[in-house]
Amino acid sequence: MIPKIKRRQMLDMLSSGLRVDGRGLEDLRPVEIKCRSVNNAEGSAEVRLGKTLAIAGVKTSIGTPFADTPDMGVLIVNAEFLPIASPSFEPGPPDENAIELARVIDRGLRRSEMIDLRQLCILPGKAVWELWVDIHALNHDGNLMDTSALAAVAALLTSEVPKAMVNEKGEVIVNKNEKQKLPIKCIPITITVAKIGDKLLVDPCLDEEEVADVFLTATFVDDKVCTIQKRGEKGLTEEETLKCLRVAQRKARELLKIVKEVIGYG
């Protein structure tokens, strides 16, 4: 019942162009990116979007490649919505929301070819680097999707992996003293647009998320879209869909600029 009253109130405000936190419809909340705070991880990043906070860490191990891609490294993305982040999160294995989030981010990283997985091959068919990207929500105030995606990207951008070589006997040797950056090809940026009534708003906060009809999340790379996920139990017209994507594309350019400034890539 509360969401219904909230929704009515929010629709009233939106009709006069106001959002609950005073932002414009296409404004992102302030972005904060803090990298390398986890010493034991190969890479890490804490990302804040307004009051939403997520942390991502990258760990590596040497494993065997998948049979259909014998010369490519392995990328695994996992997300946990910890009870520390919200009164509505419960301990236990990832629920459908956490699984969806991890899979959408995984597709974004994979399809943008952010990391040249071929360069993570040590011995074709035998040994490759496995990259484990673990994302943990720490404070949920809406749009965990974009916050987590950015955390994952920032963590990968700042990761340093030990050098691995193959000796004469064909054994894999890891030199932990010599580290190198991951083979980064580009930076994918994920933006979520929410629809409330007939209004489209970027980067929904929790209050907005609770009353929104539908969400469209898109990941962009070089101005092209590489992942889309429509979420929520309502529909969108074709016109609304394309409008969402155009807005997301614009915002992705803006966020990319921020990421490049903070991390100093490119």
Q: Which amino acid, 220?
A: F
Shortest CB 88 distance to other proteins, Å:
14
Q: Write the DSSP symbol of residue 115.
A: B
Span near other proteins by CB under 8 A; candidates 58-66, 156-164, 175-183, 239-247: 239-247
Locate 150 and state its tokens: 């950015």
Listed ranges 27-35, 118-126, 190-198, 245-253: which one lies at the site for other proteins (CB under 8 A): 245-253
165 binds other proteins (CB under 8 A): no
Q: How far is the CB of 22 from other proteins (least distance, A)?
A: 30
Q: Spell out a b/e string for 141-150, using b for 16 or more CB atoms within 10 Å of the CB, else e.
A: bbbbbbbbbb
Stretch that binds other proteins, among 160-168, 172-180, 231-239, 258-266 (CB under 8 A): 231-239
Region 90-109 residues binding other proteins, contact defined as CB under 8 A: 96-97, 99-100, 102-103, 107
Nearest by Cα to 191 from 229, 158, 163: 229
Q: Does 238 bind other proteins (CB under 8 A)?
A: yes
Please report whether residue 192 would count as binding other proteins according to CB under 8 A: no
User: Which of residues 39 and 237 has its CB atom nearest to other proteins in the complex?
Assistant: 237
Q: Which is nearer to other proteins, 86 or 249 (CB)?
A: 249
Residue 54 tokens, joined: 């997520």
With tokens 């301990």, the residue in question is 91
What are the C-alpha distances in Å from 234 to residues 8, 25, 239, 246?
A: 17, 20, 15, 20
Using the minimum distance from each CB to other proteins, give the nearer residue, 86 or 241: 241
- Candidates 10-18, 136-144, 204-212, 228-236: pick the segment binding other proteins (CB under 8 A): 228-236
d(CA 250, CA 203): 13
Helix runs in 47-194, H state only: 96-111, 144-157
Mapping DSSP to helix (H, G, I), strand (E, B) and coil, where does residue 109 land? helix
Q: How many CB atoms lie within 10 A of CB 137?
A: 24
- Residue closer to other proteins by CB (options 50, 188) is 188
Question: What's the CA gap between 149 and 117, in Å, rounded?
Answer: 19
| Stretch of residues binding other proteins (CB under 8 A), selected from 25-33, 114-122, 151-159, 234-242 | 234-242
Binding site for other proteins (CB under 8 A): 1, 96-97, 99-100, 102-103, 107, 111-112, 216, 218, 221, 223-238, 241-242, 245-246, 249
